[in-house]
């Protein structure tokens, strides 16, 4: 919490004050009991002393957060208003569980959970970018968890329109992309991709990426390491080499070498899940005009549709210039904020996935570079995975393309698709997406299936399916194709 004294909690019609959650530079966050509907909420209230610029920033935060708050992994905004004493406030969902910032230094977070969190947050970031917003301050302390354990991205205090990203003042250095720390900062979606990957790095390493255990970790030290692209290696036997490679690519010093879209990072993380034989985390992406094609797949391949189912140094921030930054402060107490538990689509079946990996040679190189090398000396930049990351998406099993369905006169539905990279031994897994969220996958050797009328729940509704390619070694598509009858 901020060392200053918290302002008294204001009286809000329809809410009863519970307790203080925390405080920041321009606002305090309180827990209130909402009377109707009855639930706990987090209320962010501006301080009485803020100036007009801080009021404008608060209103912008409310507008930008509300624009994307329907995503299941973005904090939900319920209401905004002005309290009886004249202070502006923002009512949001309350996330009572420990934040990722509170967890990563105190517990060993398992690889499956980190992958799941990464996919879900990457989808949130992708949806945010499609809505024309860059966050600019993704970090562990801003990753909350709702009552169901789902990660929730919060704190849009320095978010900005994607076509007019004003230089971020006050972002947290340990997870900031190098272009944000330059004399002429360049904000953009790939900076958010970097910060998300750096956040996942922290969840695995138990520290921020450029922090040196028992070393100098002042703000200027961190900035220099970030600009050189030399994160401090970590060793965990349960972290596969391919995951090191994915994070290295997303944290490349050159933005052009990173994933072009946050969803591409999600696809790579799902590929690691497939390698480990884990259930693939669903992609929570809604349709949007002009939305990027998932993973570079043929635009006719899938339609993401609304199928009817559904411590030191951690939170150091600075204002420019870099060289005037004081020592990194203690981590802030996360203030915010839990999902109104509405039903979510769950349409991904448990795919058959092997544990054979197609990147053994790359993995060996990455292990040597990321685990054993000195971070600042003797680095061959030609071999550095952060400078020359491997395009891992191309190594995954592809998604079927051209998936389409038609209804027949007898009420049945026929679906067809194409395999973009057919190989000997390929087969397919397909299943009907149902309103219950339960998808029963079935194998087939052909590129078409017929669903009898008696197997269709509602003959007047469209029928939707998902299809995956399955290789002879039992690896499956990391992103199943989805399609519905026309």
Residue 175 sits in the same domain as residue 259: yes
Question: Residue 362 above 60 pLDDT?
Answer: no
Question: Residue 334 above 80 pLDDT?
Answer: no
**Last residue in a domain, options 41, 60, 93:** 93
User: Which is nearest to 419 in space by CA: 439, 399, 436?
Assistant: 399
Provide the CATH number for the domain around residue 239. Answer: 1.10.510.10
Residue 2 lies in a domain: no
Residue 377 sits in the same domain as residue 416: no
Residue 157 sits in the same domain as residue 182: yes
Whether the CA torsion 86, 87, 93, 97 is positive or negative: it is negative
SS3 state at 389:
coil
Residue 323 sits in the same domain as residue 391: yes
Sequence-separated (6 or more) residues with CB below 8 Å from residue 42: 21, 29, 30, 31, 32, 91, 92, 93, 94, 95, 335, 336, 337
CA 236 to chain centre: 22
d(CA 140, CA 340) in angstroms, rounded, equals 22
pLDDT recorded at residue 169: 65
Residue 458 sits in the same domain as residue 384: no
**39 close to 18: Cβ distance less than 8 angstroms:** no
Residue 88 sits in the same domain as residue 192: no
Question: Residue 307 above 70 pLDDT?
Answer: no
Residue 22 lies in a domain: yes
- Percent helix, strand and coil across the chain, each rounded to 5? 25, 20, 55
Residue 78 sits in the same domain as residue 165: no
Provide the CATH number for the domain around residue 35. Answer: 3.30.200.20
Token couple for 260: 């072009």
Residue 328 sits in the same domain as residue 419: no
Residue 9 lies in a domain: no
Q: What is the tally of structural domains in the chain?
A: 3
Residue 113 sits in the same domain as residue 201: yes
Flag the least confident range among 131-145, 297-311, 449-463. 297-311
Residue 308 lies in a domain: yes
Residue 125 sits in the same domain as residue 270: yes
**Last residue in a domain, options 37, 65, 93:** 93
- Name residue, tokens 């538990």: 341
pLDDT in tens, 178-193: 999 888 888 899 999 9
d(CA 215, CA 328) in angstroms, rounded, equals 13
- Name residue, tokens 């923002």: 90
Q: Please identify every residue annotated as catalytic.
A: 137
Flag the least confident range among 269-278, 344-353, 396-405, 426-435. 344-353
Question: Residue 353 above 70 pLDDT?
Answer: no
Q: Which residues of 18-29 are buried (b: 16+ CB within 10 A; e: fewer)?
A: eebbbbbebbbb
CB atoms within 10 A of CB 339: 23
Residue 6 lies in a domain: no
Token couple for 77: 């905004």
Question: Residue 135 above 80 pLDDT?
Answer: yes
pLDDT recorded at residue 360: 37
Residue 248 sits in the same domain as residue 372: yes
Residue 3 lies in a domain: no
d(CA 64, CA 250) in angstroms, rounded, equals 25
Over range 161-171, report the average pLDDT. 73
Domain around 22 = 15-93
Residue 209 lies in a domain: yes
Q: In what side-by-side order are the strands of the sheet with 401-407? A: 401-407, 413-418, 448-451
Phi and psi of 28, rounded to 5°? -115, 155
Over range 164-185, report the average pLDDT. 81
d(CA 96, CA 75) in angstroms, rounded, equals 12
Q: In what side-by-side order are the strands of the sheet with 442-444? A: 442-444, 427-432, 464-470, 481-484
Question: Residue 170 above 80 pLDDT?
Answer: no
Question: 376 pLDDT band (50/70/90 cuts)?
Answer: very low
pLDDT in tens, 59-103: 999 999 999 999 999 999 999 999 988 899 999 999 999 999 999
User: Which is nearest to 349 in space by CA: 296, 279, 286, 302?
Assistant: 279
Model-level pTM?
0.65
User: Which is nearest to 369 in space by CA: 354, 358, 380, 353?
Assistant: 380
- Provide the CB-side half-sphere exposure for 80 (13 A, CA): 15
pLDDT in tens, 243-262: 999 999 999 999 999 999 99
Residue 119 lies in a domain: yes
Residue 298 sits in the same domain as residue 378: yes
Which element (helix H / strand E) includes 264? Answer: helix 262-275
CA 457 to chain centre: 34
Question: Residue 163 above 50 pLDDT?
Answer: yes
**Last residue in a domain, options 93, 125, 144:** 93
């Amino acid at each position: 919490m901020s060392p200053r004294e918290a302002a008294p909690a204001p009286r809000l019609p329809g809410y009863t004050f519970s307790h203080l959650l925390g405080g920041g530079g321009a606002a305090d966050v309180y827990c209130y009991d909402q009377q109707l509907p009855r639930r706990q909420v987090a209320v962010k209230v501006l301080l009485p002393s803020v100036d007009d610029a801080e009021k404008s920033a608060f209103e912008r935060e409310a507008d930008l957060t509300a624009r994307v708050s329907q995503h299941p992994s973005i904090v939900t905004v319920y209401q905004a208003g002005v309290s009886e004493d004249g202070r502006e406030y923002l009512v949001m969902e309350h996330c009572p569980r420990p934040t990722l910032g509170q967890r990563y230094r105190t517990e060993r977070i398992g690889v499956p959970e980190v992958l799941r969190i990464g996919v879900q947050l990457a989808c949130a970031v992708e949806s945010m970018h499609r809505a024309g917003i860059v966050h600019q301050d993704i970090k562990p302390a801003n990753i909350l968890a709702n009552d169901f354990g789902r990660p929730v991205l919060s704190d849009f205090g320095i978010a900005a329109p994607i076509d007019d990203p004003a230089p971020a003042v006050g972002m947290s250095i340990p997870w900031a992309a190098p272009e944000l720390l330059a004399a002429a900062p360049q904000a953009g979606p790939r900076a958010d991709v970097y910060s998300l990957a750096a956040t996942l790095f922290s969840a695995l390493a138990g520290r921020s990426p450029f922090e040196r255990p028992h070393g100098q970790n002042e703000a200027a030290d961190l900035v220099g390491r970030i600009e050189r692209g030399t994160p401090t290696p970590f060793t965990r036997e349960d972290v596969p080499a391919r995951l090191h490679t994915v994070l290295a690519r997303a944290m490349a010093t050159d933005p052009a070498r990173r994933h072009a879209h946050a969803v591409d990072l999600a696809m790579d993380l799902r590929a690691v899940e497939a390698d480990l034989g884990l259930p693939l985390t669903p992609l929570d992406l809604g349709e949007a005009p002009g939305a990027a094609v998932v993973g570079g797949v043929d635009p006719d391949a899938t339609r993401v549709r609304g199928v009817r189912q559904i411590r030191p140094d951690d939170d150091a921030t600075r204002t420019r210039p870099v060289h005037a930054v004081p020592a990194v402060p203690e981590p802030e107490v996360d203030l915010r904020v839990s999902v109104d538990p509405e039903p979510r689509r769950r349409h991904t079946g448990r795919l058959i996935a092997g544990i054979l990996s197609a990147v053994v040679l790359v993995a060996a190189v990455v292990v040597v570079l990321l685990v054993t090398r000195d971070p600042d000396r003797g680095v061959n930049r030609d071999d550095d995975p952060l400078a020359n990351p491997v395009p891992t998406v191309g190594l995954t099993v592809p998604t079927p393309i051209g998936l389409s369905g038609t209804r027949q006169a007898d009420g049945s539905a026929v679906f067809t698709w194409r395999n973009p990279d057919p190989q000997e031994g390929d087969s397919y897994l397909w299943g009907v997406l149902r309103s219950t969220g339960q998808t029963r996958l079935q194998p087939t050797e052909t590129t078409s299936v017929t669903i009898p009328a008696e197997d269709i729940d509602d003959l007047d509704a469209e029928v939707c399916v998902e299809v995956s390619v399955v290789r002879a070694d039992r690896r499956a598509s990391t992103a199943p194709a989805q399609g519905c009858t026309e």
